[in-house]
Structure 1
Amino acid sequence: MGRIRGALQQRLPVVAGLAALTAFLAAALLLPSNDVLRDRAFDIELAGDQWLRKPASSDQKVVVVDIDRRSIDTLGDWPWPRDTMAQLVEAIAAGRPAAIAIDILLAEPDDRSPAALARRLGSVTGRAEISALAEGLPDGDQRLARAISTVPVALGLVLDPDRNGTLPGAAIVSRGPLPFDDLWQAMGAIGPTDSLAAAASGQGALSLPGSADGAIRQVPIFVAAGGVLMPGLAAEALRLAEGAASYRIEADPPRLVVGNRQLALPHDALLRLVPAAPSRRAARTLSAVDVFQGRAGDGQLAGAIVLLGGSAPQLGGLRKTSADPLTPSVQIQADAVEQMISGRVPRTLAIEPVVQPLAVLMVGMLAVVLGAALSPAAGSAILAAAIALLWMAAIAAAGLADRLVDPLTPSIAAVLVFTVTAGSAYSLTRRREAFVRHRLEQRLAPAVVRRIVEHPDLIKLTGERREVTSMFTDIEGFTATMHRAGPEELVATLDQYFEGVAGIVISHGGMVDKIVGDGLHALFNAPLDLDNHPQRAVECAIAIREWSEGFRRRVPAVAIRLGRTRIGIETGPAVVGDVGAQSKLDYTAHGDAVNMAARLEACNKELGSTICVGPVAAARCEASLLRPLGQLTVRGREEPITLFEPWPDDVPPSWREAYLKAYALLDRDAAHAAPLLQKLMAERPADIATRRLIERLPSIFKAGLSSESPAPRT
């Protein structure tokens, strides 16, 4: 059963990832697609066009005559009188363009010209002679109609869902059934006045369809108004410029032929726009007032398709696009004309319903493998690279082949599936680590457990030689304490004691090597490097001393009269690593520094100190941290060594300075040093270490000690 359970746990991340992938595929196939996300993905693809394609040189120029703020400030408030519009069209026509497309709905007759005012006054007063005056007065509609008749002009119409009726349709020749299955349709349409429509060479739809987020991304090539097929304004402008009498629509493959131009026909007859660079729009745009006043450059309009419209807010022609929330509709129509001239019709693949699930499945399976087999960081990096390649391929398909492929849905699927798989694998790994850690911490030091958990292939850690600082602690008079305390009381007190001491060691960067009886052995700079480890060890010892003195005053320690904690510290090279049988390993250290720290702990009895620091460790600490306690012969050393302890917290600076001066005289002039030490002891009678130093003076002199006493470095 255990093996079966283990096998199931191993497969859990894969099962979780496959379940997430299956759920995502089902949702993608059964639920409506998110058109907003899809459109934005296509926006990103088409935005890469400027890097993949250089602007193609065209044999047909497109110019926008813009009724901008400056034009309105100069020529008068909008709406302009028809006479002003007529003069502007005349100025454009004088430039000999190939065709003009007016992106303004001229649905109402002129009511501001003298002729219009005379007709209205005659109608109101009922006097026919006043109405007859209109025949000899300037008429804006008539002048605009004459201007329109002099050059191929396409006027605009708008779809109206509430108006029944039709307008004259375009001349369309079709080979086979029309290849439209999702044509934009309305009950009717509103067109220009009869006189203007009669003078114009054609009419095209001004209406622009918004996407799910309200942005304009498509321009109609054809629409249906009251069941009649009508061209869009851009398509009609192209037809007039080509001099074509009609449109030819071919069904297989769906294609539109306009004069000498051909372009593919989408199933909805909507042209997906490729974003135009702002610099391109600026280069093709002329201010209407400059054209009106004859300041347009020579030849700028000659042979061009001219689109007349406005960017001034008063015209109400600003539309939201994917790149700009305030794009003039005339610029959108101009983008469509240029795109038709270049023959670019971005569209989705016919087999997209099959390709999309396959892409999701392939990328999702890759995410399952990466999430289950690799670490989260490595898996994320590889998956990010795969998603980046997917997007690069989609951008290349859009820019080079005009095929739109949705990379966003597979990307979302990959991230979701990888998150579920990697999360499950990480959770399983964490549970495994917690189990291993719990089992090993019953026998091994926490630092060793961390190494084994991080590197489970290490059965036995290799030995290494490194410098360590070793620290031994011991409880004074523990044997007597053990005899007078009950077993439960003693064990409970020791549990609290070692928990506090071990926590202090770990917080200072040390490793608790082992606990034996009433003593604790700690290592600093093992198994990992620790900066300034001798001073860290001394600071740790000071913290243990302060904490243990407070612990001795608590109820459990007071009851058994727990002794003070004595500590020995020394630094030196040691061999560290796992030692023991295969079934019971112990990460520990062996070397002179370890042995010396244990003996220095015992030296506290003779020195009268709590913390005894050896000369090597002391030399690596700040000079202000320690004071010398004199020389002592330690077991295992033939020559006596100078030992140190941290300065007591309550020592004033003057006493400290006097102590160091008296200590410096010991080897040169002991006769003068002894009275100075006696005086210092009188000032601090509780300083046992000073008393013991004075008591050892005769034995020190008899031993003939060297006058060169090592001291802490400054």
Structure 2
Amino acid sequence: MPKSRLISSGGGFCLAVLLGLLMVFLLDPLPVQKVRNAVFDQYQRWQPRDYQQAPVRIVDLDEESLRRIGQWPWSRTQVATMVDKLEQAGAAAIVFDVLFAEPDRTSPAQLLRNNSLPADLAAGLAALPDHDTQFAEVLKRSNTVLGFAAERSATAGGPPLSRFGMVLQGDSPLPFVPAFRGASRPLTELEKAARGIGAMTFKPDADGVVRRVPLFVSVADELRPSLVAEALRVSQRTGRYRIISSQAGVQRVDIGQLQIPTAISGELWVYFSRPQQSRSIPAWQVLDGSAPPLAGSIIMIGTSAQGLQDLRFSPLGGIIPGVEVHAQALEQVLTDTLLNRTNWALAVEVLTLLLCGLLLGVLALKLPALPSAVLMVLLVTLLNAGAWYGFVAHRLLLDLFTPSIGLLLVYGAASIVRHMAAEREQRWVHAAFSRYVSPNLVSHLVAHPERLTLGGQRQMCSFVFTDITGFTSMMERRTPEAAVSLLNDYLEQVIGIAFRHEGTLDRIVGDAVAIMFSAPIPQADHQQRALSCALEINRFAQSYVASLHEQGIEFGHTRIGVHSGDVVVGNFGGSTIFDYRALGDPVNTTSRLESLNRQIGTLLCVSEAIRESCPQVEMRPVGEVLLKGKAEAVQVFEPLEAMVMPVAGRDEPYEAAYRLLEAGDLEALAAFEHLSAQRPWDGLAAFHAKRLLAGENGARFVMTQK
């Protein structure tokens, strides 16, 4: 399959991955929530809220207060005294993050119920006022808010008393706010006396970290405000809420003059600041009158004592008192430093994943690896930098990190598709190219693409050059189509032989073929491979010619030259084309040896370098030949197998005549004439007889033609 088609089909795979990621993102499983929460936590760690003086203070039932006054729960008269002092100090609202669900055990009635006392002592206690009643009287004349604990169990009590008005604008918020089936409520007497009552309950995330505070909860399918909402309402002396919601969820809650945007669940994302000592006042200081001025402040009464177990995990790391979570939520409302997780945030995140995923997938499929990777990194960086800027500049909670993970997965899928396409294309090119270029060269270049660069290296190689006798005249006598068909059939067989011997096709020029051994992959036996290849080509060529002659088709004999030597091999095609070949004198020598066959009447000539490396192959000497354009003579041999009429074993008659020729004996002429007469097919014997008859002597002769 072509690369383009594979990439096109791979695009469907990438799209399926993207759609699967979108589905996971919309289903919002726990791992996705954890990643998103971790991103928002990191934002706050990098830039926590700057603490600003706000009319919110915590009266802390801390360890020192418990040591000075006694263990909790304190007597309700002691708590009433503290409320009176706070009211006198001008507190705007006194809010208890403490549940008064049971009667005061120090009340006279409780002492009488739990102890057997003398009659006169019992009568005296019965005449004393009840502590809870005293506390209720203080609550009635003070601007106080009590807390209740929303429960998952329906066995708890029902919704607390409604002390407020409610205006609903839009769809009901009940399906969206945190839902509970029951509530642990304060004593009825206290609940009726307080100006407000709100849910103290948090809904931590799966990792136990409190990141949001509800403004409203659902208790047995009835809306009830949280402790934060009631603190804001009572402190403003207003009697109602306005909740604006739609089918997508809660959008805003109005409390008096405050307009508070919320998450779709009606919760506030708490923007935490670092711990501030000035935020808290020990309870003992309120009781002894040493507390700082508190006029106009919302007072949150709660505990940081570890034994009372109201401690929470913070996004900033570490543990903070639950009452501080409420206080920080109030601070950010009153200082207008709210975090904003808008209703359209999810749509932005989904569209980012969809559109950027499509873009990144296309880029990864179309562009090379490095540019696409750079663009991917740049895109992901810009997205997350934009989300961080939104948090810093606008306190916007936008999670583009989780979509970025999806983008990386889409990019990875596209990269896999492209890699598979490249591999398939590589295999296709290898298979197709190997039909025209040596398979060993193709495999070598696939494994070592750096060899495609310009340049070469020196190494020992062997060469086989072939040519067809009279090919030009044959072309003239036949139609081009017929001649080309014959030539292609011939070349296919010759190249196949070369490839079987693991030779490298150097070049084809018309009917001539140049084959190289020991490059690009070194071969220790390259001389033997070259000679074996040449002998097989010779056998094929003679058989091919014979079969064509039987069909009445004329085809010339193949001349072959074989030589070995030191050459430079590499890519010499310039910067615009790849042309892997060898350069050096041995290449020219091999070409001259091939041409020598035409002058001396042989079909295969090999150099002494080949003969010395292949002693097992019987050969007969041709002579010391001074090739055209060469200054030094080359000792040339003819393998006996390549003779027109092969001789079994050694060619002793020829060798005897050659020894006379080599010695300069005058009897050499008669010996070659006699041998030529006996062997009219022996072109080499006839060549020597002719040159001796012309007056030459010795085994050395000059090649007058290329």
When the two structures are superposed, what TM-score results if normalisation uses the length of structure 1? 0.58
Aligned to 2:497: none
Q: Does 1:155 align with 2:137?
A: no
Aligned partner (choices 83, 89, 93) of residue 99 of structure 1: 93
Q: 1:33 to 1:383 in 2, by over 3 A?
A: same
| Partner SS for 1:183 | coil
- In the TM superposition, what are the counterparts of 1:286-325 in structure 2 within 5 Å? 286-296=281-291, 298-299=292-293, 301-324=294-317
Aligned partner (choices 20, 29, 36) of residue 34 of structure 1: 29
Aligned to 1:257: 254
Given that 1:472 and 1:519 are in contact with CA atoms closer than 8 Å, whether structure 2 keeps it comes out as: no
Aligned partner (choices 5, 9, 17) of residue 14 of structure 2: 17
The CA deviation at 1:409 is 4.8
Larger Rg: 2
| Partner SS for 1:364 | helix
Q: Does 1:337 align with 2:330?
A: yes
Q: Does 1:269 align with 2:266?
A: yes
| Partner SS for 2:441 | coil
Letter aligned with residue 517 of structure 1: Q
User: What is the distance in 2 between the residues matched to 1:141 and 1:516?
Assistant: 109
Q: 1:329 to 1:169 in 2, by over 3 A?
A: same
| Partner SS for 1:216 | coil
Aligned residues: 497
| Partner SS for 2:156 | coil
Q: 1:384 to 1:237 in 2, by over 3 A?
A: same
Aligned to 1:462: 454
Q: Does 1:278 align with 2:263?
A: no
Q: 1:462 to 1:410 in 2, by over 3 A?
A: same
Q: Deviations over 1:272-305 (max 9, x none)?
A: 323x1224x4441233344445454x32x33221
Aligned to 2:214: 220
Q: Deviations over 1:403-431 (max 9, x none)?
A: 54443553233122211110121133234
The CA deviation at 1:178 is 6.3
- In the TM superposition, what are the counterparts of 1:350-429 in structure 2 within 5 Å? 350=343, 355-398=348-391, 400-401=393-394, 404-429=397-422
Runs (5+) with no aligned partner, structure 2: 463-500, 503-517, 531-564, 587-608, 613-630, 632-706
The CA deviation at 1:355 is 4.7
RMSD, aligned CA? 4.7
Q: Deviations over 1:104-149 (max 9, x none)?
A: 1011111135x25543257x56x77544322565864355445545
Q: 1:235 to 1:441 in 2, by over 3 A?
A: farther
After superposing the two structures, state which structure 1 stretch, 398-407 or 91-100, moved more. 398-407
| Partner SS for 2:163 | coil
User: What is the distance in 2 between the residues matched to 1:579 and 1:166?
Assistant: 90
| Partner SS for 2:224 | strand
Aligned to 1:79: 73
Aligned to 2:132: 141
The CA deviation at 1:316 is 2.1
User: What is the distance in 2 between the residues matched to 1:403 and 1:179?
Assistant: 26
Identical pairs, percent = 25
Letter aligned with residue 462 of structure 1: L
Q: 1:154 to 1:40 in 2, by over 3 A?
A: farther
Q: 1:445 to 1:432 in 2, by over 3 A?
A: closer
After superposing the two structures, state which structure 1 stretch, 65-74 or 82-91, moved more. 82-91
| Partner SS for 1:9 | helix
Given that 2:313 and 2:319 are in contact with CA atoms closer than 8 Å, whether structure 1 keeps it comes out as: yes
Letter aligned with residue 340 of structure 1: V
After superposing the two structures, state which structure 1 stretch, 129-138 or 15-24, moved more. 129-138
The CA deviation at 1:246 is 3.2
The CA deviation at 1:11 is 3.0
User: What is the distance in 1 between the residues matched to 2:568 and 2:46?
Assistant: 62
- In the TM superposition, what are the counterparts of 1:239-250 in structure 2 within 5 Å? 239-249=233-243
| Partner SS for 2:197 | strand
Q: Does 1:232 align with 2:226?
A: yes
Q: 1:133 to 1:366 in 2, by over 3 A?
A: same
Q: Deviations over 1:240-287 (max 9, x none)?
A: 22232333445699543333222235543222323x1224x4441233
User: What is the distance in 2 between the residues matched to 1:291 and 1:511?
Assistant: 93
Q: 1:362 to 1:250 in 2, by over 3 A?
A: closer
Aligned to 2:589: none
Given that 1:45 and 1:398 are in contact with CA atoms closer than 8 Å, whether structure 2 keeps it comes out as: no
User: What is the distance in 2 between the residues matched to 1:433 and 1:405?
Assistant: 44
Aligned to 2:476: none
- In the TM superposition, what are the counterparts of 1:615-694 in structure 2 within 5 Å? none
| Partner SS for 2:439 | coil
- In the TM superposition, what are the counterparts of 1:417-566 in structure 2 within 5 Å? 417-433=410-426, 439=434, 442-444=439-441, 450=447, 453=449, 461-463=453-455, 512=522, 516-517=526-527
User: What is the distance in 1 between the residues matched to 2:215 and 2:444?
Assistant: 73
| Partner SS for 1:100 | strand
Given that 1:204 and 1:231 are in contact with CA atoms closer than 8 Å, whether structure 2 keeps it comes out as: yes
Q: 1:419 to 1:121 in 2, by over 3 A?
A: closer
Runs (5+) with no aligned partner, structure 1: 475-493, 496-504, 521-567, 593-601, 606-635, 637-714
The CA deviation at 1:321 is 4.3
User: What is the distance in 1 between the residues matched to 2:251 and 2:348?
Assistant: 21
Q: Does 1:48 align with 2:43?
A: yes
Letter aligned with residue 335 of structure 2: S
Aligned partner (choices 179, 183, 201) of residue 177 of structure 2: 183
Q: 1:332 to 1:419 in 2, by over 3 A?
A: same
Letter aligned with residue 245 of structure 1: G
User: What is the distance in 2 between the residues matched to 1:98 and 1:462?
Assistant: 86
Given that 1:184 and 1:224 are in contact with CA atoms closer than 8 Å, whether structure 2 keeps it comes out as: yes
Given that 1:121 and 1:131 are in contact with CA atoms closer than 8 Å, whether structure 2 keeps it comes out as: no
User: What is the distance in 2 between the residues matched to 1:400 and 1:64?
Assistant: 29
User: What is the distance in 1 between the residues matched to 2:414 and 2:263?
Assistant: 40
Aligned to 1:644: none
Q: 1:577 to 1:165 in 2, by over 3 A?
A: closer
The CA deviation at 1:65 is 2.3
User: What is the distance in 1 between the residues matched to 2:346 and 2:461?
Assistant: 75
User: What is the distance in 2 between the residues matched to 1:42 and 1:119?
Assistant: 53
Q: Deviations over 1:479-520 (max 9, x none)?
A: xxxxxxxxxxxxxxx99xxxxxxxxx99xxx98499641699
Q: 1:287 to 1:590 in 2, by over 3 A?
A: farther
User: What is the distance in 2 between the residues matched to 1:518 and 1:231?
Assistant: 97
User: What is the distance in 1 between the residues matched to 2:137 and 2:251?
Assistant: 38
Q: 1:188 to 1:447 in 2, by over 3 A?
A: closer
The CA deviation at 1:192 is 1.8
Q: Deviations over 1:629-675 (max 9, x none)?
A: xxxxxxx9xxxxxxxxxxxxxxxxxxxxxxxxxxxxxxxxxxxxxxx
The CA deviation at 1:317 is 1.2
User: What is the distance in 1 between the residues matched to 2:254 and 2:74?
Assistant: 37
Q: 1:340 to 1:6 in 2, by over 3 A?
A: closer
Q: Deviations over 1:296-350 (max 9, x none)?
A: 4x32x33221211112222121234444463321111112212322346556554
User: What is the distance in 2 between the residues matched to 1:325 and 1:50?
Assistant: 12
Q: Deviations over 1:161-212 (max 9, x none)?
A: 3235443213214265665142334444332223433443221111112334
Q: 1:441 to 1:341 in 2, by over 3 A?
A: farther
